[in-house]
Chain A
Amino acid sequence: MIKRKWNINGKIQNIQFEEDQRLLDVLRDVLDLTGTKEGCGEGECGTCSVIINGELKLACLQLAAVLPDGTDILTIEGVEKTSLGKRIQRSFIETNAVQCGFCTPGMIIASFYLLSNHKKPDRKTIKRALSGNLCRCTGYNSIFEAIELASGRK
């Protein structure tokens, strides 16, 4: 058993988990934060995207035990409470960027990471920023439009 004290979505939490669990397992099975999805489990699809200490990472490739006390973790449940997160969500709805929705949490995390670092990204920058996120439904254009819409708003 591993014990850690992490800052999860702005709240310090004491948690316990097994040595072999990935951050993805800890989020979903221990903390019940099921917005983070498991698509492929091997780094290809981006549905498990999270932000660790300010950097975009994949929870399926992250062994939980190697994250020390004090690690900052932001998941979709935390992002949706921020004003930027809300703005992105609204834009996704308006451009019809959500169909089945399975990719959406990962897409929003990647968009949030992009817009936190770039105020007004161009299409090329947006495509590159989302290149690790697969969507089987939308054909991507509505997602790119959502980010453009969100970046133009206050």
Chain B
Amino acid sequence: MKIFLPTNIKEFLEIKSKEPDAIILAGGTDLLAQWHNNKIMPNKIISISMLKNLSFIKEENNFVEIGSLTNHATIESNKIINKYLPILATAASTIGAPAIRNMGTIGGNIANASPAADLAPALLVYDAIVKLTSMNSTRELKLSEFYRGYKQTALGKDELIFSIKIPLPPQGVVTEFFKIGTRRAQSIAKVSLAGLIKKEKKGIDIIRLAAGSVAPTPIRLYELEKFLQGKILTRSVISTACDILQKYIKPITDVRSTEEYRRIALKNILVKFLSGI
């Protein structure tokens, strides 16, 4: 087994272009647990824990940019995040327990592409962009396009997630994040929902919804948004929204929950969100 420990991004990219199969290791909370359970380890590991330049949060040109190595504890308590992206801080605060939040990173949470990743629904409603970098290029794509399928992403073998960029949300929006798990700490979501809404007298002006654990990847609920756009939230509108939701999601039964439970729970939190504001 070989471990690479680059100390700057240039060195990382050089190694990664020569060793495309080396597994990127960030906080290790997903990978070490996986290696332990499967009793195998990869032949080549490239750790990014020494790349201190990847750990930052800044506000610039109407964007908040978060370095991929930023951990959950930092996101939970950071002033910029709490001011502009409150439900991202909330989502981070629900991840694992203190030690997990000190170790786990935003880059790992996204790259792992678990349908239950807690930062994902919040990032999706904030229209987050993933910034990828390799030896020869840098590219940006929407988080919703970064996800390609169950635990699959658009990340190339020579690439690194450099940062997550989030446009400042419009003025006057209300946001909320709901997570249903088995116990308060350490529980992976059975189902989760993030919502961003701006209501005017004449109807909904802006609506964005995203859900976790109800499809192979975390998803934006675009069709539901289209239906709700411009509507006044009467009981019958909310009821139709629930019907659309049911057609649109594909939850499964697994160790954590059943398909039926997930359908009912997500419907209930959608109703709670729409009728609560």
Contacts and interface: CB of A to CB of B under 8 A. Distances in A.
Given A68-B50, A132-B97, A132-B100, A62 B1 contact: no
19 contacts: A41-B33, A41-B36, A42-B32, A43-B32, A55-B102, A56-B98, A56-B99, A58-B103, A61-B28, A63-B25, A65-B47, A66-B49, A68-B50, A128-B98, A131-B184, A132-B99, A132-B100, A132-B186, A133-B97
A57 B98 CA distance: 8
A113 interface: yes
B32 A63 contact: yes
Interface of A (DSSP majority class): mixed
B94 to A, nearest CB: 11
B96 interface: yes
Interface of B: 1-3, 5, 25, 27-29, 32-33, 36-37, 41, 45, 47, 49-50, 96-100, 102-103, 184-186
A60 B45 contact: no
A49 interface: yes
Interface string A2-30: 10000000000000000110100000000
B106 to A, nearest CB: 17
A105 interface: no
A19 B32 contact: no
B5 A132 contact: no
A19 B98 contact: no
A66 to B, nearest CB: 4
A62 B185 contact: no
